[in-house]
């Protein structure tokens, strides 16, 4: 799964892409290879039955605790897989990405393991604690651009000029394969799983879980996006990779304006169902999981929990797995969560 710096590629969608990306679609075999790689760096995450949700929906509902991973989200799986496989030439120069938080933190952490420099472009207005979180791990933060896409454009250009490896949020075989390793862990421990429900932004969970637990068990894989930012949902329905103009949602980690070709190709081929949820349902889901289980999830993590009521009949009597994808709820959003009755 190396990314040889040989042929230039054009972006297959409306995102900025580093000209030497390997856009070969990932496979289930790639997920198994990524598992071999990640064993050295990351623990297997716990899969824990939620007694409260199981009773509330008359189902066997398990939570895959990706929030306990280093940097507090599953993103470390994909980034580490990418860095383990990049050409050594790039490790000498450095790796670069754009991020509003989790991706940048994960890049900085993984860059320490591989002894390379991490550069993270963040948009203006990014919270101080998020910048600190990246810098504490030795990452270099550049505040550029009005929004995520501006930062991403800058990062890809900087990569071209300076010889860094630009890490794309979706069009990366390693990111999809690495993320999918969580799905293999679910399949190992819970082979009887009937339904897996994950949140969708760039689509690494949707694609990665479809290629892993979706491929090696009989499980139905369901993706859920915020209705306020539903570019991926529309692309999944229509096959057209049409960006949307703005991306405002409480779930900032899945505010993806642009549908990405690589994960979308896998999701259209293999993911079984897709839904969207309202902003209110997202906030309420965070509040309820905190009140009942004392698990604090961030917005991007909440859509699968927010869709459960809609799926009540479909999941009744069945075994369900839901990843808790991240715990990095910004401090200023905590008050919104705690004020819900």
Give the nearer residue to ligand PLP in terms of CB position, either 285 or 318: 285
The residue ranges of DSSP E strands in 106-219, in sequence order, are: 118-122, 140-143, 165-166, 195-199
Q: Single out the residue of 71, 102, 171, 217 in contact with ligand PLP (rule: CB under 6 A).
A: 102
Minimum CB separation of residue 155 from ligand PLP in Å reads 16
Give the nearer residue to ligand PLP in terms of CB position, either 94 or 304: 304
Task: Give the nearest residue (CB) to ligand PLP.
Answer: 326
Minimum CB separation of residue 298 from ligand PLP in Å reads 5
Q: Which of residues 112-171 bind ligand PLP (CB under 6 A)?
A: none
Q: Single out the residue of 231, 254, 261, 322 in contact with ligand PLP (rule: CB under 6 A).
A: 254
Give me the half-sphere count of Cα atoms (radius 13 Å) on the Cβ side of residue 325. 30
Q: Could you give the 3-state DSSP secondary structure of residue 98?
A: strand
Q: Which of residues 276-335 bind ligand PLP (CB under 6 A)?
A: 298, 300-301, 325-326
Rounded to 5 degrees, φ, ψ at 179 are: -60, -35
Give the nearer residue to ligand PLP in terms of CB position, either 104 or 145: 104
Site pattern 24..63 for ligand PLP (x: CB under 6 A) = ----------------------------------------
Q: 268: which 2 tokens?
A: 């259209």
Positive or negative: CA dihedral 112, 87, 264, 255: positive
**Cα separations in angstroms, 5 against 19, 97, 138, 205, 319:** 9, 18, 26, 27, 44
Positive or negative: CA dihedral 256, 262, 265, 269: negative
Minimum CB separation of residue 237 from ligand PLP in Å reads 17
Q: Give CA–CA dist 141/131, Å, rounded.
A: 7
How many Cβ atoms are within 10 Å of 47's Cβ, its own excluded? 18
Minimum CB separation of residue 273 from ligand PLP in Å reads 16
Give the nearer residue to ligand PLP in terms of CB position, either 102 or 171: 102
Give the nearer residue to ligand PLP in terms of CB position, either 265 or 326: 326
Minimum CB separation of residue 7 from ligand PLP in Å reads 25
**56 Cβ contact list (under 8 Å, min separation 6):** none
Q: Which of residues 194-253 bind ligand PLP (CB under 6 A)?
A: 199-205, 253
Total of residues contacting ligand PLP (CB under 6 A): 18
Q: Is 96 in the site for ligand PLP (CB under 6 A)?
A: no
**The CA-based dihedral angle spanning residues 205, 208, 211, 215, taken in that order and rounded to the nearest 10 degrees:** -50
Using alpha carbons, select from 196, 194, 168, 316 the residue that is nearest to residue 256: 168
Give the nearer residue to ligand PLP in terms of CB position, either 60 or 185: 185
Minimum CB separation of residue 330 from ligand PLP in Å reads 12
Minimum CB separation of residue 92 from ligand PLP in Å reads 28
How many Cβ atoms are within 10 Å of 70's Cβ, its own excluded? 16
Site residues for ligand PLP per CB under 6 A: 73, 75, 102, 199-205, 253-254, 256, 298, 300-301, 325-326
């Amino acid at each position: 799964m190396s990314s040889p710096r040989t042929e230039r590629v054009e972006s297959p969608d409306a995102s900025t892409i580093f000209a030497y990306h390997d856009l070969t679609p990932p496979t289930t075999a790639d997920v198994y290879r990524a598992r071999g790689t990640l064993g050295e760096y990351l623990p297997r995450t716990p899969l824990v039955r939620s007694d409260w949700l199981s009773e509330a929906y008359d189902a066997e509902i398990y939570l895959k605790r990706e929030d306990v991973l280093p940097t507090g989200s599953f993103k470390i799986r994909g980034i580490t897989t990418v860095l383990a496989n990049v050409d050594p030439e790039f490790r000498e120069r450095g790796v670069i990405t754009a991020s509003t938080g989790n991706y940048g933190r994960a890049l900085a952490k993984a860059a320490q393991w591989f002894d390379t420099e991490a550069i993270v472009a963040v948009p203006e207005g990014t919270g101080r604690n998020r910048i600190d979180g990246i810098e504490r791990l030795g990452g270099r933060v550049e505040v550029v651009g009005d929004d995520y896409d501006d930062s991403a454009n800058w990062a890809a250009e900087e990569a071209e000029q300076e010889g860094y490896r630009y890490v794309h949020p979706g069009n990366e075989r390693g990111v999809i394969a690495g993320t999918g390793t969580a799905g293999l862990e679910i399949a190992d421990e819970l082979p009887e799983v009937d339904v897996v429900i994950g949140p969708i932004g760039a689509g690494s969970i949707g694609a990665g879980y479809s290629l892993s637990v979706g491929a090696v068990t009989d499980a139905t894989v369901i993706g859920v996006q915020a209705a306020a930012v539903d570019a991926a949902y529309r692309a999944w329905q229509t096959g057209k990779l049409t960006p949307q103009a703005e991306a405002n949602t409480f779930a900032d980690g899945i505010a993806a304006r642009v549908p990405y070709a690589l994960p979308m190709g896998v999701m259209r081929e293999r993911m079984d169902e897709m839904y969207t949820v309202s902003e209110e349902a997202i906030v309420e889901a965070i509040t309820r999981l905190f009140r009942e289980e004392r698990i604090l999830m961030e917005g991007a993590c909440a859509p699968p929990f927010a869709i459960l009521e809609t799926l009540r009949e479909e999941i009744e009597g069945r075994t369900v797995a839901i990843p808790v994808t991240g715990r990095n709820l910004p401090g200023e959003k905590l008050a919104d969560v705690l004020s819900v009755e």
